[in-house]
């Protein structure tokens, strides 16, 4: 959202912010999935507090993979864990890839637009464009 705020202030283009958010998020999500797929349950040897939650979550993922793939991005605190579990449960790539591309696109678009408009609201509320700090930043860019 800070990148979208910077776009609203004129420092970068909003499309560039969106592309960076989309590609960065997609990369992290796929790395998390493949970590689970190839490392399996060994990952949880490093995080013992998650072992009790894993059994319950695995059954849910097995029964509801499509819903899980549509919702994981919006479940703060469970994003990475759920992606690792999708990999451990070997959710098929033909399902995982299109779902993640879709949901990461929606998430990136939502937060790009939200950050842009929050930046606009903050600018009106705090009169940022007339602040000394932002005037100096604009001189540098």
pTM score, whole prediction: 0.77
Question: Domain residues of the chain, as ranges?
Answer: 2-140
Nearest to 92 by CA among 38, 39, 37, 41: 37
Which range is least confidently modeled, 93-97, 112-116, 122-126? Answer: 122-126
Q: What average pLDDT does this structure show over 127-132?
A: 61
Q: For 30-67, how does the pLDDT look when each residue is reduced to its tens digit (9 = 90+)?
A: 999 999 999 887 877 777 777 777 777 777 787 888 88
Cβ neighbors of 2 (< 8 A, separation 6 or more) are 115
- At residue 56, the pLDDT reads 73
In Å, what is the CA distance from 88 to each residue of 35, 53, 124?
A: 8, 14, 48
């Amino acid at each position: 959202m800070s990148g979208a705020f910077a776009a609203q202030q004129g420092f970068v283009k909003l499309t560039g912010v969106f592309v960076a958010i989309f590609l960065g998020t997609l990369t992290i999500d796929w790395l998390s999935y493949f970590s689970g797929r190839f490392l399996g349950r060994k990952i949880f040897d490093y995080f013992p507090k998650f072992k009790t939650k894993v059994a319950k979550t695995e059954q849910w993922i097995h029964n509801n993979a499509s819903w899980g793939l549509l919702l994981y991005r919006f479940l703060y605190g469970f994003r990475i864990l759920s992606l690792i579990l999708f990999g451990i449960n070997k959710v098929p790539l033909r399902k995982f890839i299109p779902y993640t591309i879709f949901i990461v696109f929606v998430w990136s678009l939502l937060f790009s637009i939200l950050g842009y408009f929050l930046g606009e609201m903050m600018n009106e509320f705090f009169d940022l464009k007339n602040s000394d700090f932002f005037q100096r930043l604009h001189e540098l860019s």
